[in-house]
Amino acid sequence: MVKLIGLKNLFSKGLPKMPRDYIVRLVFDRRHKSLAILSSDADLERNPAVEGTDDEIVGAICYRAYHEMKFAEIAFCAVAQSQQVKGYGTKLMNLLKMHAVTEGVEYFITYADNYATGYFKKQGFTRTITMPKSRFHGLIKDYDGGTLMECYVHPSIDYTRIPEMIKAQKEYILDRVRDVSKSDKVVYPPLPRGWTPDGQARANANANGNGNVNANGNSLEAGSGAHSGNSLRKNTRGGKTKTGMIIPTLSSRGNEAALRAMAIPGMAEAGWTMTDLLASTAAAKDNDRQRNHLKSELLTIIRKVEDQQFAWPFREPVDTTEVTDYLGVVKEPIDLSTMDKRIRKGDWYKSKQHLQVDMMMMVNNCKAYNDATSQYFECATNLEKFLKVIFQDA
């Protein structure tokens, strides 16, 4: 009983928006079970005053198993403020999964608030619900503003050994890479002082990755054995060599540096191409920085919208198997998760204005399908006002 009271206090502190009487009802309900991590003996020796108090509880999860349907609903999950960012949340969830297997549980399901979705994603939960709705519909409590998430519990995985398994898999992959890799088995002689690649070496390296370079580091024309004698500076306009290979036009220092690098013995054999080297130039890096900056800005906007209480109807696509007439009204469905995927894919949105267009289409879709007196229409109206604020500088 003392431990249950401690759990109740932990959940009340960790979940301040949850009604306390509701927490008490579920923690003391015989149909609900709680799994907790307590302070170790070593911790108690260092700080004996916490023994038997609420501070002895590091973290806990309260859940209810529906054995006939082979799933469990997680009601509360919290870690003490002083014990956070130490891995206890992950350990707690892994222990719960191991215990769930003994109870025949196949799925965990929960409603996560905006601050908990990140944690649950790290623990293997997803917003895509694969469990048939008939198994949990009417059994779990629906929460306004929460995100329904699911996790499949594999019966043959030892979740307490996941770090060890990942380490072993990583070592195996690295061993296989070392077996097939040649980069650490072939050693080329050092380049002589004053070495300069000529045009033919660059053409060979760029056209077929097989520059013929003699012991002095100078290139030999294919089949001729004669040194071409042309330095890099003398072949900057591009064109064709005697063998028909194309020498790229040097339009910048980045191109010149890439061609010099490709002429070094072993570069082409190691798998490097002109495309790889040009991608590492300052101009390419600057373009990447701009794309990453835009991507970060757009994802921040998505997160800000998702965090709003009125955003819950827009987080996932409308289930057209349930709302069968939706596509008859809405011709271009759009939602926040689809926008998130488009942003992460890379080149869908060229600017914030482009994202704003999709956001407004989402609002208009909602207004077009739903009645003006519905809560969905009200959420769309509030979202429209919010978009005007966050896109005012766009």
Instruction: Tokens for 164, please give them.
Output: 């060890």
Torsion of CA 94, 99, 104, 110, to 10 degrees: -50
> Residue 204 in 3-state DSSP?
helix
Q: Indicate the burial class of 236 (C-beta count within 10 angstroms; 0-12, 13-18, 19 or more).
A: middle
Distance from C-alpha of 384 to C-alpha of 382, rounded to nearest angstrom: 5
For residue 99, the one-letter residue type is H
For residue 105, the one-letter residue type is V
Distance from C-alpha of 246 to C-alpha of 232, rounded to nearest angstrom: 14
Q: Answer for the pair 394, 352: CB distance below 8 angstroms, yes or no.
A: yes
At 54, give phi and psi (nearest 5°).
-60, -30
Distance from C-alpha of 274 to C-alpha of 36, rounded to nearest angstrom: 57
**Parallel, antiparallel, or unpaired for β 107-112 and 71-79?**
parallel
Q: Answer for the pair 248, 199: CB distance below 8 angstroms, yes or no.
A: no
First-last CA distance in the chain = 57
DSSP string over 150-174 = EEE--TT--GGGHHHHHHHHHHHHH
Place of tokens 């942003």: 343
For this structure, is 332 an active site residue? Answer: no
Catalytic residue among 56, 73, 150, 221: 73
Distance from C-alpha of 8 to C-alpha of 15, rounded to nearest angstrom: 10
Distance from C-alpha of 373 to C-alpha of 100, rounded to nearest angstrom: 44
Closest CA to 314 of 377, 390, 357, 372: 377
CA atoms within 13 A on the CB side of 5: 5
Place of tokens 């002895």: 56
If phi over 0 gives left and psi between -120 and 50 gives alpha, with beta otherwise, what is residue 278? Answer: alpha
Distance from C-alpha of 243 to C-alpha of 203, rounded to nearest angstrom: 10
Q: Which residues are catalytic?
A: 73
